[in-house]
Structure 1
Amino acid sequence: MARLKASWAAGTRTPRTRRACAALRAVWSREVGWFVAIGVVSTGGQALLYWVLRLWWPPAVANLLSLLVLTVLNTEANRRLTFRHAATKPTRAHLGAGGLFLLGYLLTSGAVLWFTHRHPDASPAAETAVLAATSLAVTVVRFVVLRLAVFRGPEGRRG
């Protein structure tokens, strides 16, 4: 991998490094595709669950429960489909996703609470839209952290 980066930076790509770069782009493209598909389904599921839970509980509680359920499902789907070639054990994957869950919860709850403070008469549908938009931003950060730290491929391992 270091040789690939050095040849890329030096602009001296050989046919071998060009093939390696193409293979790397293909892997990232496949991973991004699966991550987006799973993310769309997860965001929709979380929004629907939040909307239902919002009938009984305040925004922070509804968000916590919906995010918790969907984070577990999302992490397992990403482990099996998106990052299926990584040698990450389920326990490590779910523990790694736990920190991201906390970040996601704090950011999405903060956004919803801020929105309900600014618009106290807003409908649960409007709150859900804010939740979905914030979840999208959190998802981008989540992919990068999962790919680079939790589900590192063989090229990301040392020794």
Structure 2
Amino acid sequence: MAVLDIPQRGATPVPGLTDAYSYGTEAIAYGTEAVATGTEAVRTAGVRWTAQLGDWLRSDHALAQLIRFALVGGLSNVGYLLLFLAFYGEGPQLANLTGSIVSTAIANELHRRLTFHAAGRVRWHTAQIEGGGLALAGLAITSGGLAILTNTAPGLGGFAEAAAVLAITAAVGTFRFLTLRLWVF
């Protein structure tokens, strides 16, 4: 093994090292200890930053609530899909109804407890009635928007219709978030 040209122990240390050795492998080992120490400092700072981010995400700031709202919505969509697939053998309408009712009820409860921290202020049945009503209104708006689009532009195509439904759904989701935040919870 080749010996690196590193000053002898006790000589002027290599920049970045507090001491130096004469053999290359020892210098590398010593250098990795310094890197490990630096990594520990970065990890500690990262843990501190992550804790602060976690505290902020649990806060009642509107943006933190919006992030939690989107996460709960995403999880409820996954739940809807799983229920839809589980009940599809009984027919698509029953599968859609079951998936919609169960996933909306779970989402309303998660919004009450996690998104808006309203478990102490809003009772379960109030959240289900008002949140469920908003979900039905959103379903009616998206269905109506799709029907209007289909009648006014029949040859639009699946991709354009899906994009329109996504835009309508985003608008309805924004309205639902604001209504839940300002009125229900």
Give the residue type in structure 2 aligned to 1:81.
L
Number of residue pairs matched? 120
How far off its partner does 1:84 sit? 2.3
8 Å Cα contact 1:96/1:150 also seen in 2: yes
Which runs of 5 or more structure 1 residues have no equivalent in the other structure?
1-22, 152-159
SS in 2 for 1:27: coil
**Superposed counterparts of 1:2-151, under 5 Å:** 26-28=59-61, 29-42=63-76, 65=97, 67-87=100-120, 88-117=122-151, 118-119=153-154, 122-123=157-158, 127-151=161-185
How far off its partner does 1:79 sit? 1.7
8 Å Cα contact 1:46/1:67 also seen in 2: yes
CA pair 134-121 structure 1, distance change in 2 beyond 3 A: closer
8 Å Cα contact 1:72/1:94 also seen in 2: yes
Higher relative contact order (CA 8 A, sep 6+): 1
How far off its partner does 1:81 sit? 1.5
CA pair 43-111 structure 1, distance change in 2 beyond 3 A: farther
8 Å Cα contact 2:138/2:172 also seen in 1: yes
Give the residue type in structure 1 aligned to 2:154.
H
Partner of 1:156: none
CA pair 113-67 structure 1, distance change in 2 beyond 3 A: farther
8 Å Cα contact 2:60/2:116 also seen in 1: no
The RMSD of aligned alpha carbons is 3.7
How far off its partner does 1:69 sit? 4.5
How far off its partner does 1:86 sit? 4.5
Larger proportion of helix: 1
Which runs of 5 or more structure 2 residues have no equivalent in the other structure?
1-55
Q: What's the TM-score once normalised by structure 2's chain length?
A: 0.50
8 Å Cα contact 2:108/2:132 also seen in 1: no
